[in-house]
Amino acid sequence: MRAGIDNKSSLFGKPVLEMNIWNQITTAGKAAAPDRLSGITAMAAFTYVAVGTGTTPVDPADTTLTAEIEDSGLVRTTGTVSAETTTTTDDTAQVLYKWESITDTKAVTEAGLFNASSAGTMVANQVFSAINVVSGDTLQITWKIDFS
């Protein structure tokens, strides 16, 4: 299982920055996957995308973002979920969310994929070079969990 993230910021509807980053699947995420796939537990799906300003390197033991943003129009929210094709039909789970109402200046440096609107289990995360956003900007994050 691999996870990737596309971070996109746009100006006049066109991307001004696009990054493709491999992510850390967390220890909790590795434990949650068999439970979610087999129905052993009633674990919620991993559909919530969060961003933050932390710069601490990722660790498999991470359960939260270092400094999750909870204001400025960048709060954790549920993304649009789809099955995509990487190698075999529908072998990649995709979660996409676009924050279109950013209301303040932030240097976004981390992102995580969760199964709840607060707390919950973080399945994957990553720290990256700052994506500087200001009021009026749009930020899109697309998570891909590839099972190919």
Which among 43-47, 53-57, 84-88 has the top mean pLDDT? Answer: 53-57
Taking only the tens place, the pLDDT of each residue in 118-141 is: 999 999 999 999 999 999 888 999
Reading the block at residue 61, the tokens are 């033991």
Residue 65: C-alpha distances to residues 27, 69, 83 (Å):
14, 9, 26
Residue 97: C-alpha distances to residues 1, 82, 108 (Å):
21, 12, 15
Q: What is residue 5's predicted lDDT score, i.e. its pLDDT?
A: 44
| pLDDT beyond 90 at 40 | no
- Among residues of the chain, what percentage have pLDDT more than 70? 89
Backbone torsions φ then ψ of 10, nearest 5 degrees: -130, 155
| pLDDT beyond 50 at 18 | yes
Query: How would residue 112 be classed by pLDDT, with cut points 50, 70 and 90?
Result: very high
Listed residue (88, 125, 129) closest to 108, CA to CA: 129
The residue-averaged pLDDT of 26-46 equals: 87
Least confident segment among 15-19, 34-38, 70-74: 15-19
Residue 11 has a CB neighbour count (10 Å cut-off) of 11
What is the spatial distance between Cα 53 and Cα 112, in angstroms, rounded to a whole number?
12
- Domain range spanning residue 115? 2-146
Q: What's the domain count of the chain?
A: 1
